[in-house]
Structure 1
Amino acid sequence: MARATRRLSRQSVRSALSRAGGLPARVVRRLRAAAHPRPPELELTPGPRPFVRALGMVAVTLLGAWLGLLIVGSVHKPVGPMDTTMTLRPSFTGGTKINVAPLGALELDTHHGPLRLDVDVTRLDPDRAGYLVENPERFGELQDMVASDVESGTRDLALRSFVAVVAGATALGLAVYRRPRRALLAGGMALAVLAASGATAATTWNPKAILEPRFSGLLAGAPSLVGDARRIVTDFDVYQQELARLVTNMSKLYNAASTLPTYQPDPNTTRVLHVSDIHLNPAAWLIIESLVEQYEIDVIVDTGDTMDHGTAAENPFLDPASELGAPFVWVRGNHDSRTTQKYLEDMENVHVLDDGEPLEIAGLRLAGMGDPHFTPDRRVQIEDESEQVVAGRRLAAALRTSKVLGKPVDIAVGHNPTLVEQVDGEVPLALAGHSHNRKQRVLGKGTFMMIEGSTGGGGLRAVEQDVPERVSASVLYLDDETGRLQAWDEITLGGLGTTTAEVSRHLPPDVEPGSSPSSDEPAGSPAPTGSPSPTEVPSPTGTGEPGEEDDDNRAAPARRETPTPVPTG
């Protein structure tokens, strides 16, 4: 019915037009519009331009690829006895960055491109290091082993990075566009970017970049601290061979400390491990931990210079101090800052000595004074020792106060021997470091002062020296009732490039040879029998000569000495 009505309406309009002889066009259009009504049109928002859509896709692709690398793009790979973490990171310049905590990092212009290779050296694995020492024939293969591990790690990193960037870009594309086709497009673009980056790195690879490293962090100040640290890499053909040798020697030092013969003293003896001047050498923690276990140490006393610059960036290096198996007592050295001291004060099982405040631990009473000087590098030189004298006198006054209160101190502790000399006559025993030269002497009023060498083998300084600095530590045996020193063992390990180790027993001046080190009597039972000291641990490779030692590093103390046997059981 309606259709017929519309048909009649159109016919009537035509008839009217024909009768009228024609109308203006504007009127005709209006009549036609009325005869043919159209549904209302929807107004759509204009879509984004093509280049905007393309830019958004690129942004999603790059962001997704970066998130993929960040979350799952790392490879944990052992390189020789070292544990490392390898990662690809977005970069405008490319290159390689090697992070060596806590020293800082060095950067190499190995390649160009949008990706940088980050290598984090995390720790020395004692099990793998011990295996190398137990199988000395593997030392010659270490360089090839390291090269093979690096090659394997690079392959694993490439495969993992491929999966990471494709998965990351695809997942983010799906989350943003909610269309599988666009998500797959994002994943494909990410793969293309990774392939192009790899091709760019391969074509711009520069193996000579090792000759021009850029130091950052603490390593940036290395020349001011130890001279020209770039000497390490001026001849890469030599250095790549020495690199494996350095790792080998660290392994041997750890093993030597693990197998040193121990002493079985009288039960009424407190054992104190005296260490000093570690200077950021991570191998020192392994050696200390091994000595604590072997000698059943009651307390560790560190006479300072554990750090090099005393910066907050170095603080994580101190973390092992709380887990050495014995309480760790520390006094500030001239390379340690107040920041260093505050970090240690907040650690468990660590005790800081300063301002002469007495500390009772392991049946002993100790007091110390932090070094008044702070000389973080060679540019800061202080020749005037007057501040050391003033600080030492403050410590002596605190010791006298403790004595008046009926709590006499057994051991005074400081870093600089000049400071420690001021407590002469106030305590029976005083410990110091600083000189990297082990010495003992009786002061004018009877105090026995023991200066320890460097337990870190001089730290970074050892890299430059033609003659390696020895690693030194001492085990002190004190009567647990009187707190008096009965005997001590000097433990000396060969530094970088050598593999010797020896331990020798000594008696203080007030204990006559032939008496038991843990006896209060000047004479008594003969010394135990066994192999005469010093006892040497032979080098697995024969690179070190037993008995080779500078007189400066082995200054004889003012005491009588016994050819102490050190039982090997």
Structure 2
Amino acid sequence: MSKASETNSSNSASVASTIRRLLSAVVSSVFNRRTARWSSLIAVAVAGTLAGLLLGGRVETPVGPADASLSLAFSPSGGTEVEVPPLGALRLDSHAGPLLLKAQITRLRPAATQSFINDPAAIDTLEKTVTDEIRRGVIWMAVRAVLAALVLTALLALALYRDWRRALAASLGSLLLMTAFGGVAWGTFRPSSVAEPRYTGLLANAPQLVGDAQAVIDRFDEYRGMLAKLVANVSELYATTSTLPVYTPDPDTVRVLHVSDIHLNPLAWDVIRNISEQFQVDVIIDSGDLTDHGSRPEDRFVANINTLKVPYVYVRGNHDSKGTEAAVSKIKNAVVLDDRAQEVAGLTIYGAGDPRFTPDKTNEDDALPSSALEAQGLLNAETLRGFGTPPAISVVHDPVQARALDGLTPLVLAGHTHQRATEILPGGTRLFVQGSTGAAGLRGLEHEDPTKINLSILYLNRTTRALQAWDDFTLGGLGEQSVQVERHLATAPAAPQPTTTPSR
């Protein structure tokens, strides 16, 4: 082969190689541009969809005599959450993620509520009304959410690309994404989830609100009636609280939550935690009998104090041992008082433990409690006389011990009797006797009517330390679901009442 032929052949191969590289570069560039373009469109569709669902998926809808807020949120597990302030919430595994349906009772219409309460027969029509109103609310919320997502996606795409074709493509991607979300929810919908709710807050103490699980599964239509009943109960609670005597706490108010005689009932912690958070209390005061026998295994129950977000002032009861007292003192937010005073939440609080340790009724020392308690009360009174300024609050377990402090402190908190009472002592001291915050523990089941859960919030002026008002909370005992709130103004104190004979 001649040199010219070899040269021509070499040049042809070089040109072909160059063309292949150019074609490869062009294809790669086009592919990368298309990939980047579609990736950006997908990102715009996702961002617009998420923002639209969150912003547009919110509606207010009537639910019987109340107004409810329905909204969408994102959750990996999906489901439905119903909030009933201040009672708590219930969670249903109604469907898989990523959309969580949230419902919250926001307002009660007084006229409609009063009309409903005055006509108990209205429960028959309320069942269908509540069901229809919730269905309409959910549909309208879904329509708003879809429209908002499509509009936001289109606007975002137009702002970025200034091309209506790309805006249309991004909107189509948003519609496909929402269709996928809805398909997941529809495909995983579980009607039987209403029989398996998870309760938080005060509702955790009343799982019977939705009835027997198997009965609900077998008779799903009856759940509508149960839902109507729940709305009715909440309506009555809100109607009760709206008629309380007028008193509005202000920033100068110190809120004190008084609990007593928990007696190893774990449900008490949920009640205490929720009321302390809902009403923003500054300090919790426990007037004793946290446990039943004051044993070392019960120390694990005492450790629940550290789940509370405010200081916890404690005095020993006759069912609490010195070991119980020591276990409480190790908890970071706990303040143990035994014949001493300490300033907590701006208030000087004095406390003294019960001199007895009588965890069972066979102890002979418990048969004659008055002499020991009265003697201890006189010793505590000597301590108080040594203070330059009387403490704002004094705390003991048994009201017999409290009477010796009359005239030396404006307010004495006690428990022990499992019966709430209040009286003004002859020297001007107000004595508060709290019922059992633990529904008397297992003792609450000894009688035909279960012992109710009792606790109170006291409102004191931060400057003068004077009592202004108090709210008494009464919750139904084991197996019951009632809630009652009573407000009292300190300007009109209750008449003196005889203290109930102490229980053991």
State the TM-score, normalizing by the size of structure 1: 0.51
Read off the aligned partner of 2:496 and give its amino acid letter: P
Does structure 2 retain, via aligned residues, the 8 Å contact 1:468–1:497? no
1:74 aligned to 58, 61, 69, which one? 58
Matched, 1:304 2:252: no
Post-superposition offset of 1:162: 0.5
Determine the structure 2 residue equivalent to 1:5.
none
2:385 aligned to 380, 403, 427, which one? 403
Post-superposition offset of 1:70: 3.0
Matched, 1:425 2:412: no
Post-superposition offset of 1:161: 1.3
Does structure 2 retain, via aligned residues, the 8 Å contact 1:491–1:502? yes
Instruction: Provide, for residues 47-102 of structure 1, a one-character-per-residue CA deviation record: whole Å limited to 9, x for no partner.
Output: 236994587244543343123323443334453425433215364x5433335568
Matched, 1:292 2:247: yes
Matched, 1:211 2:195: yes
Determine the structure 2 residue equivalent to 1:25.
5
Determine the structure 2 residue equivalent to 1:153.
137
1:379-458 equivalent positions in 2, closer than 5 A: 400-409=382-391, 412-413=394-395, 417-418=397-398, 422-427=401-406, 430-433=412-415, 437-439=419-421, 450-453=432-435
Does structure 2 retain, via aligned residues, the 8 Å contact 1:329–1:353? no
2:74 aligned to 89, 93, 96, which one? 89
Does structure 2 retain, via aligned residues, the 8 Å contact 1:76–1:84? yes
CA distance in 2: counterparts of 1:159 and 1:136, whole angstroms: 34
1:163-202 equivalent positions in 2, closer than 5 A: 163-174=147-158, 179-199=163-183, 201-202=185-186
- Cα gap change, 1:422 to 1:469, in 2 (>3 Å): closer
1:322-361 equivalent positions in 2, closer than 5 A: 330-332=284-286, 337-338=305-306, 340=308, 342=310, 355=337, 356-357=340-341
The alignment partner of 1:24 has SS state of helix
Does structure 2 retain, via aligned residues, the 8 Å contact 1:108–1:212? yes
Read off the aligned partner of 2:151 and give its amino acid letter: A
Post-superposition offset of 1:491: 8.3
1:261-272 equivalent positions in 2, closer than 5 A: none
- Cα gap change, 1:59 to 1:330, in 2 (>3 Å): same
- Cα gap change, 1:371 to 1:303, in 2 (>3 Å): farther
Post-superposition offset of 1:177: 5.2
2:235 aligned to 232, 251, 254, which one? 251
2:28 aligned to 18, 38, 46, which one? 46
The alignment partner of 1:342 has SS state of coil
1:425-504 equivalent positions in 2, closer than 5 A: 425-427=404-406, 430-433=412-415, 437-439=419-421, 450-453=432-435, 469=452
Does structure 2 retain, via aligned residues, the 8 Å contact 1:475–1:489? yes
- More helix as a share of residues: 2
CA distance in 1: counterparts of 2:484 and 2:352, whole angstroms: 34
CA distance in 1: counterparts of 2:227 and 2:235, whole angstroms: 13
CA distance in 2: counterparts of 1:313 and 1:186, whole angstroms: 51
Question: How many residues in Structure 1 have an aligned counterpart in Structure 2?
Answer: 406
Instruction: Provide, for residues 265-297 of structure 1, a one-character-per-residue CA deviation record: whole Å limited to 9, x for no partner.
Output: xxxxxxxxxxxxxxxxxxxxxx5xx4637xxxx
CA distance in 1: counterparts of 2:59 and 2:212, whole angstroms: 27
Does structure 2 retain, via aligned residues, the 8 Å contact 1:79–1:146? yes
- Cα gap change, 1:492 to 1:155, in 2 (>3 Å): closer
Does structure 1 retain, via aligned residues, the 8 Å contact 2:422–2:496? no
Query: What do you get for the CA RMSD once the two structures are aligned?
Result: 6.3
Read off the aligned partner of 1:156 and give its amino acid letter: W
Identity %: 24
Does structure 1 retain, via aligned residues, the 8 Å contact 2:452–2:474? no
- Cα gap change, 1:200 to 1:447, in 2 (>3 Å): closer
Determine the structure 1 residue equivalent to 2:114.
133
Does structure 2 retain, via aligned residues, the 8 Å contact 1:441–1:558? no
Post-superposition offset of 1:129: 4.3
Instruction: Provide, for residues 110-146 of structure 1, a one-character-per-residue CA deviation record: whole Å limited to 9, x for no partner.
Output: 345x54332142x5525x1464125545661433342
Post-superposition offset of 1:432: 2.9
Does structure 1 retain, via aligned residues, the 8 Å contact 2:202–2:271? no
Q: Which runs of 5+ in 2 are unaligned?
A: 13-20, 291-301, 314-333, 362-368, 460-465
Read off the aligned partner of 2:168 and give its amino acid letter: L
Post-superposition offset of 1:158: 0.8
Post-superposition offset of 1:170: 3.2
Post-superposition offset of 1:244: 3.0
Post-superposition offset of 1:188: 0.9
1:320 aligned to 267, 273, 279, which one? 279
CA distance in 1: counterparts of 2:307 and 2:473, whole angstroms: 31
Does structure 2 retain, via aligned residues, the 8 Å contact 1:74–1:88? no
Determine the structure 1 residue equivalent to 2:320.
none
- Cα gap change, 1:315 to 1:452, in 2 (>3 Å): closer
- Cα gap change, 1:73 to 1:134, in 2 (>3 Å): closer
Read off the aligned partner of 1:337 and give its amino acid letter: I
- Cα gap change, 1:111 to 1:442, in 2 (>3 Å): closer
Read off the aligned partner of 1:87 and give its amino acid letter: L
Determine the structure 2 residue equivalent to 1:367.
349
Does structure 1 retain, via aligned residues, the 8 Å contact 2:99–2:181? no
The alignment partner of 1:146 has SS state of helix
Does structure 2 retain, via aligned residues, the 8 Å contact 1:60–1:186? yes
The alignment partner of 2:310 has SS state of helix
The alignment partner of 1:425 has SS state of helix
- Cα gap change, 1:161 to 1:67, in 2 (>3 Å): same
Post-superposition offset of 1:200: 5.2
1:116 aligned to 99, 107, 115, which one? 99
- Cα gap change, 1:86 to 1:50, in 2 (>3 Å): same
Post-superposition offset of 1:406: 4.4
Post-superposition offset of 1:412: 2.4
- Cα gap change, 1:449 to 1:164, in 2 (>3 Å): same
Instruction: Provide, for residues 482-516 of structure 1, a one-character-per-residue CA deviation record: whole Å limited to 9, x for no partner.
Output: x9x9xx9998989656999999996437xxxxxxx
